[in-house]
Amino acid sequence: MTGTTQPDEIVLITGHLDDLPSSGTAPGADDNASGSVGVMVSAEELSQQVFYRTVRFAFFTGEEQWLLGSDAYADMVYQAGDNIVAVYNMDMLGTDNVGEPYLRLHTRITSNPGYPGDLAIANTFVDVVNTYSLDNELSPIIDPDGITQSDHSSFWNKGYSAILGIEDNDNDISPYYHTASDTVSTLNLTYFTNFVKASVGTAAHLALRDDGTLIADFTASPTSGAVPLTVNFTDLSVGATSWSWDFGDTGTSTDKDPTYTYTSTGTYTVSLTVTSASGSDTETKVDYITVTPPQPPVAEFTASSTSIYMGDSVTFTDQSANHPTSWSWTFEG
């Protein structure tokens, strides 16, 4: 499903199709027909809506042979340079036999640079549970230092943000997985249904539903400083397909995230007008940028060495502030 305004941002909703018997047949109701159903229901529901981001629904095989399918796919999209912003992987959604209806959302360890991205996906799931009154039906636990024995970890290995949604694998995992007894009759269908509902909601929220809303917004950095002042503007609009900036001093741009240099002192009001098929919207920030007169330079420098033998060379590096335009060095001695 190609996104409307952010089609280069890709959300993956995944699960594995294969099962592994210890002996004999393995129906695989929990591991992993349950996750596969979650992917199919997500596809069915999301296909009836429009989203800002592109959504891909993926079934992998070879998961039980140590992630063969997802590893190949993750490598393929990485080599292609695909901008995958979130991966939500479903694996074993059907068992809840003990106590609270816990489930686990596995992220990387908190010290891993990828943890904040994983946490954002997990928090989206938790927000969906709370927003849609599923908090009496499901008790999500965010599990840092998560397991790697499912397809999400193939995407971790390529630096993508990803989580695993799974039943409480620490305390209440199916005793029947990888056996001939992993049948529908062993599942808690109420728990499973609510898990799938929350998963569909998570997929929709990650994909950013396009309901025709158009909102102009932006930020800038820095917003004050001495002339000449170079400012980086960042678009925060929702639903925009084109941008028209007025920087308040006759300067304009149609870039999404422009960089602009103010060459005169003053206080400037900045406006951004965005448009889409549904119309236009304007955000104006009054007296947003303040450009002050140039400050006198402050001399500063460093030397490659301050203790040398006669005949040795020393490199001096200027580190003066406030944009000096000329330099005069004196080397006494």
Q: What is the residue extent of each domain of the chain?
A: 6-207, 212-333
Q: Tell me the angle at which helices 189-207 and 115-131 cross, rounded to the nearest 10 degrees.
A: 120
Considering the segment(s) 212-333 as one domain, its CATH architecture is Sandwich (2.60)
Nearest to 164, CA basis, from 15, 306, 277: 15
Sheet containing 229-235, strands listed edge to edge, beginning at the edge strand earlier in sequence: 218-221, 229-235, 259-262
Tokens 């409307």 appear where?
4
Sheet containing 139-143, strands listed edge to edge, beginning at the edge strand earlier in sequence: 53-60, 6-16, 84-90, 162-167, 102-106, 139-143
- Retrieve residue 218's tokens: 């932006």
The residue count of the chain comes to: 333
Q: Tell me the C-alpha distance between 168 and 173, whole Å.
A: 6
pLDDT of amino acid 5: 83
The model's pTM: 0.69
Under DSSP, is residue 132 helix (H, G, I), strand (E, B) or coil?
coil
What DSSP string runs through 193-253?
Answer: HHHHHHHHHHHHHHH-B--S--B--EEEE--EEESSEEEEEEE--BS-SEEEEE-SSS-EE
pLDDT of amino acid 182: 94
**Quick one: CA dihedral 74, 77, 81, 82, positive or negative?**
negative
Instruction: Cite the beta strand spans of the chain per DSSP E.
Output: 6-16, 53-60, 84-90, 102-106, 139-143, 162-167, 218-221, 224-226, 229-235, 242-246, 252-253, 259-262, 266-276, 279-292, 301-303, 316-318
Q: Tell me the C-alpha distance between 104 and 155, whole Å.
A: 18
pLDDT along the chain (333 residues), means of 10: 92 96 85 97 95 96 95 98 98 94 97 94 95 94 95 98 96 93 96 98 92 89 94 91 96 97 98 92 97 91 90 92 88 80
Q: Tell me the C-alpha distance between 266 and 287, whole Å.
A: 9
Q: Tell me the C-alpha distance between 294 and 187, whole Å.
A: 72
pLDDT of amino acid 325: 87
Q: What are phi and psi of 14, to 5 degrees?
A: -135, 160
pLDDT of amino acid 186: 96
Q: Do domains 6-207 and 212-333 have the same CATH topology?
A: no
Q: Tell me the C-alpha distance between 22 and 33, whole Å.
A: 17
Under DSSP, is residue 64 helix (H, G, I), strand (E, B) or coil?
helix
Between CA 307 and CA 313, with CA 312 as vertex, the angle to 5 degrees is 95
Nearest to 76, CA basis, from 29, 10, 166: 10
Looking at domain 6-207, what is its CATH homologous superfamily? Zn peptidases (3.40.630.10)
pLDDT of amino acid 278: 79
